[in-house]
Amino acid sequence: MSRRALTLLLAGFLVLALGVTGASRPVPYVVLSPGPTENTIGEVDKKPVISINGRQTYPTSGALSLVTVAYQGGPAAQIDLLTALRGWVDPTVAVVPQETIFAPDRTVKQVEQENTVEMSNSQDSATAAALNELKIAYTTVVTVVSTEPKMPANGKLMKDDEIVAVDGTPAKNVDVVGDTVKAHKPGESVRFTVKRAGKELDVTVPTTKGTEGQTLVGVSMQGRFKFPFDVDINVGDVGGPSAGLMFSLGIVDKLTPGEITGGKRIAGTGTINPAGEVGPIGGIAQKMVGAQDSGATVFLTPADNCAEAVKAVPDGLRLVRADTLHDAVLALDALRTGKGNIPACEAG
C-alpha cells in the first residue's frame, strides 16, 4: 500500500472515529413523542378511569380520550446527538432544548412531583367545572397547607386545618382570608375559626410586619372543593394539567342520560378551570398523532392551540375548537345529532 493510500485510510478512520464519538456524546435536548391515550369513560388496569359514588350514573359508549406526550432525555438521562438527529428528521416528534422541560433550578424528581400536583389540581378543577356545567352545587373550603417557621401562625394553625372564618367573616376563599388579615395593623391579633379533627375551635394569632410593610401571620393556604358525592379519577402514571377538559367531559357523560359521544371515538386536550374555561397546552402536534393512533376521528382543541394544530393535523382527524366546556358539550351534541354549530379550528 502506498503512503498516500495509507494516509487516506488513516484519515478516514479518524473521521469515522470522531463521528462515532461525537454522535454518542450527550446533548442538552429532549425528544417529545406521542404518548399513550386513556379513555376517560373507560378503564385503566381493569379500574374505571372515572368512578362516581353517591350519585346516579348512566351508560356511556365510544371514547373521550385524553392524550399525552412522552419525553426522552433530561438532566439525569441526556440523549446523544444521534438520537437528537433522528428526532429532527421524524415529523411525528419534536426535539426541544432541555430547559424547555426542565428549568435549570429544577431536578427531574421536582418536575415529576410538580406534574403530579398539577394533575391532582386539574382533576379537582375538572370536577368543579363539570358540576357547574350540570348546575350541581358544591362548596369551597380554605385549608392550611403549611406555616412558616418563626412566624406567628407556626404552632397555632396546623396543616389541614379548615379555616371556617376570620374575625367572624366566613372564609369563602383564600382572598377573603388574606384580605381580612391585611386589614389589621402589624402587632394586632386575628381570630381564626378552624375545624380540626372534626371539632371547631377559635385560634388567636398575632400578626407581624412583612418585608414590604404588609401585615402577615405566616400561613400558606389552599382552596379546596367539597363535592356532594365522590368523584375518583384514576389515570396511572400520567401527570400535568392538560387532561382537564377530557376529565370534565367524562364526568358530564357519566352523570347525564344518553351518550354524548354518539359512539364515536373522541380525543382532545386542554387545561380547565372551575368556570369551565379551556386553556392551551404544549405538544399539540404529538398529541394529535397519539389521538389518530388511538382511532379517534375528532380532536377537541383549545382555541389558543388552533393555529398550530391546523398546520400539523394528521389526515382523517377533524379539529373542533373548544373555548369552554359548555362549547365542547354543544359541539359534541351537534356532531351526534347533525344539528347545530361545530366550531372549527382556523389557521392564524
Distance of CA 218 to the CA centre of its chain: 28
Q: Does domain 30-71+115-136+229-337 have CATH number 3.30.230.10?
A: yes
Cell of 239: 401527570
Predicted pLDDT of residue 111: 64
Q: Read off the pLDDT of residues 132-170 as tens digits, 9 standing for 90 and up.
A: 999 999 998 999 989 999 999 999 999 999 999 999 999
Predicted pLDDT of residue 68: 92
Q: Using alpha carbons, list the distances in angstroms from residue 335 to 245, 298, 324.
A: 17, 10, 17
Poorest-confidence range of 6-10, 31-35, 65-69, 107-111? 6-10
Greater confidence, 81 or 332? 332
Q: Read off the pLDDT of residues 171-197 as tens digits, 9 standing for 90 and up.
A: 988 999 999 999 999 999 999 999 999
Q: Using alpha carbons, list the distances in angstroms from residue 308 to 280, 299, 311.
A: 11, 14, 6
Distance between CA 301 and CA 293 in Å, rounded? 17
Domain boundaries, given as residue ranges, for the chain: 30-71+115-136+229-337, 139-226
3-state class of 15 per DSSP? helix
**Residue range 139-226, CATH number:** 2.30.42.10
Confidence class of residue 101 from pLDDT cuts 50, 70 and 90?
Answer: low
Q: Per-residue pLDDT averaged across 301-327, rounded? A: 96
- Whether the CB-CB separation of 204 and 191 falls below 8 Å is answered with yes
Which of 156, 242, 254, 264 does the annotation list as catalytic?
242
Q: Is 287 a catalytic residue?
A: yes
Confidence class of residue 86 from pLDDT cuts 50, 70 and 90?
Answer: confident
Q: Read off the pLDDT of residues 272-281 as tens digits, 9 standing for 90 and up.
A: 999 999 999 9
For the chain, the average pLDDT equals 87
DSSP character string of 260-314: TTTT-EEEE--EE-TT-BEE--S-HHHHHHHHHHTT-SEEEEEGGGHHHHHHHPP
Predicted pLDDT of residue 208: 95
139-226 and 30-71+115-136+229-337 share a CATH fold:
no
Q: Is the pLDDT of residue 11 over 60?
A: no
Q: Is the pLDDT of residue 23 over 90?
A: no
Greater confidence, 67 or 103? 67
Confidence class of residue 87 from pLDDT cuts 50, 70 and 90?
Answer: low
Predicted pLDDT of residue 190: 97
The DSSP element (H or E) to which 206 belongs, if any, is: strand 199-206
Strand partners, 69: 34
Predicted pLDDT of residue 180: 96
Poorest-confidence range of 2-6, 133-137, 179-183, 265-269? 2-6
Q: Per-residue pLDDT averaged across 225-233, rounded? A: 94
Q: Per-residue pLDDT averaged across 306-334, rounded? A: 96
Confidence class of residue 116 from pLDDT cuts 50, 70 and 90?
Answer: low
